[in-house]
Amino acid sequence: EYSSGSSLVDLKTGKIIGGGTGFEQIVAVDAQGNTVYVLTPNGVLQLPTETKNTKLIINKNNEWGNVKTMILFGGNVYLLDTTKSRIWKYIATNSGFSELKEYLNPDTLPDLSKATGMTIDGSVWIGTSDGKIQRFSQGKENTFVYKGVDPPFGKELILFTSDETKNLYVLDSQNKQVVVLDKDGIYLAQYIWTGDIIPSQFVVAEKQGKILLLVAGKLYSIDLK
């Protein structure tokens, strides 16, 4: 049995809508408008979808430690560095991007060593490998407390939201679920699956009513209820 508001998802019969050679070698991918951005060990590549003119727009910086992921927001590039516990920011300019800057205020010194990923809706949200959710607003920590999650979150939380997304979505692979919270921390729904499938990343398109889960280089689509 499943609690009210939960849905059982059979990912084995889910529709595969993307994937292929090379997916496994990319650190992170994001898109804005008609342009795709790819984080690689050498820096950030720009791939306009209407042309084949791929170019390196941000070189790897000596300040970088282990850059876990990349998010585009407001035209700017944000990089989550779990070794340095920093969020690096590159500001869009008329000629490309600025030099390396820090998003976090100098007096904000969080431990980001356990961060599993990052998502941005104006605030920066981070899930951790010890089952926590961290939120930062205007460069400062803004404590987030959630309620009503059952079973309690496991480890390795990955989050998704955006400025166009009403809710916060939490991928909890240990408990084989995606949990939906409002941005005040109230539980709304959960999507549960069985089997050994372990998604590594996901994205939610609320307007289209879809959750997309990346599993071993393939994307599975499930419907929001």
Q: pLDDT (tens digit, 9 = 90+) per residue, 161-219?
A: 999 999 999 999 999 999 999 999 999 999 988 878 888 888 899 999 989 888 887 77
* pLDDT tens figures, 119-143: 999 999 999 999 999 999 999 999 9
**pLDDT at 19 > cutoff 60:** no
Write out the DSSP string of 109-123: ----TTEEEEEESSS
> What is the model's pLDDT at position 10?
55
Residue 2 half-sphere exposure, CB side, CA atoms within 13 Å? 14
Between CA 112 and CA 189 the distance in angstroms is 28
Q: How large is the greatest C-alpha to C-alpha distance in the chain, in angstroms? A: 56
> How high does pLDDT run on average in the chain?
86
3-state secondary structure of 110: coil
Per-residue DSSP letter, 153: P
Structure tokens at 206: 């609320």
* pLDDT tens figures, 68-121: 999 999 999 999 999 999 999 999 999 899 999 999 999 888 999 999 999 999
3-state secondary structure of 175: helix
For the entire predicted model, the pTM comes to 0.84
Structure tokens at 20: 């292929």
> At 84, phi and psi to the nearest 5?
-90, -5
